[in-house]
């Protein structure tokens, strides 16, 4: 594993200027890379898109659908029997009413349990990414050059200066994970890093 220091910039020209400052400080081109990080939730981690295999806010939906099917089928059957008794329609109408009630009940039940169904006391369990969107400039560093890299990145206007252990291959950060929370470099004093620490605490 390699030691990597990185920071986020707003535009490619600003990041390229920071890269030039790194070169002026003794870093070589094969140890510096820059790339764009998409906005939160738009990293296409799956072939069909998205960053996770299911929506955390929908974990209770199957339970709600089960309750809805039960309640809906009972209500539908009661309505069907009432129609059958009042209007002398075929028994098939009662069965259809029970089926429609079960279907509608399952939809209502599932939706009522998505994101807590609007209940005020519901605690949302959606995991928030801490990494912002922008141009990330990453530097393959060593324990000796880490302070220099962090200082240059901060002075060049980089925010969320971070350190990571990762695979550096062919001049790039090969195992970069945009959903992983950045770990601030010790001594980083920019406001974004401080805010990041408070959010992740």
**Residue 33 and residue 173 in contact, taking contact as beta carbons nearer than 8 Å:** yes
Mean pLDDT of the chain: 75
pLDDT band at 76 (very low <50, low <70, confident <90, very high): confident
**Residue pointed to by tokens 């072939």:** 47
Domain boundary among 118, 148, 168: 118
pLDDT tens digits for 134-187? 899 999 999 999 999 999 999 999 988 999 998 999 888 988 888 788 888 874
> pLDDT tens digit string along 48-58?
555 555 555 66
In a domain, 165, yes or no: yes
CATH value at residue 35: 3.30.70.120
d(CA 125, CA 129): 13
Q: Does a structural domain hold residue 163?
A: yes
Q: Give alpha helix (H) positions in the chain.
A: 12-24, 61-87, 91-112, 146-155, 191-200
How many domains in the chain? 2
Q: pLDDT (tens digit, 9 = 90+) per residue, 85-99? A: 777 767 777 778 778
Domain end, chosen from 67, 95, 118, is at 118
**CB-CB contact of 20 with 88 (8 Å):** no
pTM for the full model?
Answer: 0.54
- For residue 124, the model assigns a pLDDT of 45
One domain, residues 78 and 96? yes
Question: In the sheet where 159-166 sits, what is the strand order?
Answer: 32-37, 134-141, 2-9, 159-166, 183-184
Residues 112 and 135 in one domain: no
Query: Helix crossing, 91-112 with 61-87: angle to 10°?
Result: 150
> Residue 20 above 90 pLDDT?
yes
Examine residue 173 and state whether it is found in any structural domain, yes or no: yes
For residues 137 and 113, state if they share a domain.
no
Domain-embedded: residue 123: no
Domain termination site, one of 92, 118, 144: 118
Domain containing residue 174: 2-41+128-200
CA distances from 81 to 68, 87, 100, 101 (A): 20, 10, 14, 13
Inside any domain, residue 46 = no
- Asked, for residue 51, whether it belongs to a domain, the answer is no
């Amino acid at each position: 594993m390699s030691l990597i220091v990185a920071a986020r910039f707003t535009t490619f020209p600003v990041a390229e200027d920071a890269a030039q400052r790194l070169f002026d400080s003794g870093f070589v081109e094969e140890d510096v890379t820059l790339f764009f990080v998409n906005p939160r939730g738009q990293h296409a981690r799956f072939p069909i898109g998205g960053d996770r295999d299911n929506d955390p806010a929908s974990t209770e939906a199957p339970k709600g659908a089960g309750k809805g099917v039960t309640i809906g089928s009972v209500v539908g059957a009661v309505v069907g029997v009432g129609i059958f008794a009042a209007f002398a329609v075929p028994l098939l109408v009662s069965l259809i009413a029970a089926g429609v009630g079960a279907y509608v009940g399952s939809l209502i039940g599932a939706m009522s349990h998505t994101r807590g169904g609007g209940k005020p006391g519901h605690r949302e369990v959606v995991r928030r990414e801490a990494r912002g969107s922008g141009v990330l400039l990453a530097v393959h560093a060593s324990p000796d050059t880490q302070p220099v890299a962090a200082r240059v990145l901060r002075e060049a206007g980089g925010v969320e200066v971070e350190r990571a252990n990762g695979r550096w291959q062919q001049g790039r950060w090969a195992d970069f994970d945009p959903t992983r929370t950045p770990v601030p470099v010790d001594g980083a004093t920019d406001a974004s890093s401080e805010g990041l620490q408070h959010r992740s605490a």
